[in-house]
Amino acid sequence: MAYKSILVHLKGHARDVQTLAIACNIARRFDSHLTAIFAPDQAASPMAGALDPAAVAAMRLAMDYDRQLKEKTKLLVQAVESRENRPIAWDALTDDVLNGFVQRARSADLIVMTQEDPSPRFMFAPSHVANVLLNAGRPLLIVPFAGDFATCGESVLVGWSATRESARALSDAIPLMQNARVVHLVSFNNAKNGDADTGFELDVGRWMARHDLKVNFRQQTSKDVDVGNQMLSLAAELESDLIVMGGYGRPRSVEFFLGGVTKTLLDTMTVPVLMSH
């Protein structure tokens, strides 16, 4: 298994440097075709001026700002392309950015994106990451908004539950885990219900062994601290450089309803996270 087509999402932010570096490292490892797509948070809409003449000046400023971000991002991609001595395809979306990026994402093996800026945002601003996670149907590798990550996939922590999303995420992460130094798979039991996932070690162990993967299994009880924060604490304890888990939620127009663990990881991740829905 290998990722032969990787799509990296760039927004003209300083964090693009780290996200593009991780995407390039993975592309080099698998000799993948890498495409960088500039898709800003909110592209200026020409309709704004038609609907409200007073918005014309603001619309022009927004469009100029997007153009500046696009040129800045293109220069970054060209510099990395030259340094890496390997081609990086380039494209930019300026209209219907959210849906346009999802359409492009559906024809890639892996999507690489940056965690949304955790600083307060306009409450109804759509999330690129949530939109791609819930609608693209492809594995999504999310790079934290802060921190430097020299490696991604050497020490892997997999959050397991007996769900479709969890099985998808584990399957989608197999290429990244095949050169891992260690893979830890943890299943969380509810302290009140005692709902242990019995038998998962045997079934999943056989599955992973067929991919030449040796997995360390552990059961953990979820008590007062929610599972998402337990995952982050365990990742720090095990010095993991990648978390793998199912992404839970359901799309509804531009509003997103995310499961508690998914939201916790998306909001407070400390290492890259690979999610599949």
By the 10 Å C-beta count (0-12 exposed, 13-18 middle, 19+ buried), 150 is classed as exposed
Tell me how far apart the alpha carbons of residues 143 and 275 are, in angstroms, rounded to a whole number: 11
Tell me how far apart the alpha carbons of residues 233 and 240 are, in angstroms, rounded to a whole number: 10
Q: What's the confidence (pLDDT) of residue 48?
A: 47
Tell me how far apart the alpha carbons of residues 134 and 138 are, in angstroms, rounded to a whole number: 9
**Quick one: pLDDT band at residue 6, thresholds 50, 70, 90?**
very high
Tell me how far apart the alpha carbons of residues 4 and 25 are, in angstroms, rounded to a whole number: 13
SS3 content of the chain, % helix, strand, coil (to 5): 40, 25, 35
Q: What's the confidence (pLDDT) of residue 49?
A: 47
Show the CA angle centred on residue 128, arms to residues 19 and 75, nearest 5°.
Answer: 40
Q: What's the confidence (pLDDT) of residue 254?
A: 43
Mean pLDDT score, 235-246: 96
**Least confident among 12-21, 43-52, 86-95, 265-274:** 43-52
Tell me how far apart the alpha carbons of residues 164 and 152 are, in angstroms, rounded to a whole number: 24
pTM score: 0.88
Q: What's the confidence (pLDDT) of residue 152?
A: 95
Flag whether pLDDT at 261 surpasses 90.
no
Tell me how far apart the alpha carbons of residues 259 and 116 are, in angstroms, rounded to a whole number: 17
Check the CA dihedral 101-28-22-64 and report its sign.
negative
Flag whether pLDDT at 42 surpasses 90.
no
Q: For 119-141, write each residue's pLDDT tens digit.
A: 655 444 568 898 899 999 999 99
Q: For 191-240, write each residue's pLDDT tens digit.
A: 555 455 556 788 898 999 999 998 999 887 766 568 889 999 999 999 99
Tell me how far apart the alpha carbons of residues 273 and 240 are, in angstroms, rounded to a whole number: 11
Q: What's the confidence (pLDDT) of residue 253?
A: 47
Flag whether pLDDT at 3 surpasses 50.
yes
Question: What are residue 54's phi and psi, to 5 degrees?
Answer: -70, -15
Residues in the chain: 277
Tell me how far apart the alpha carbons of residues 130 and 150 are, in angstroms, rounded to a whole number: 25
**Quick one: pLDDT band at residue 7, thresholds 50, 70, 90?**
very high
**Least confident among 61-70, 114-123, 189-198, 262-271:** 189-198
**What's the whole-number average pLDDT of the chain?**
86
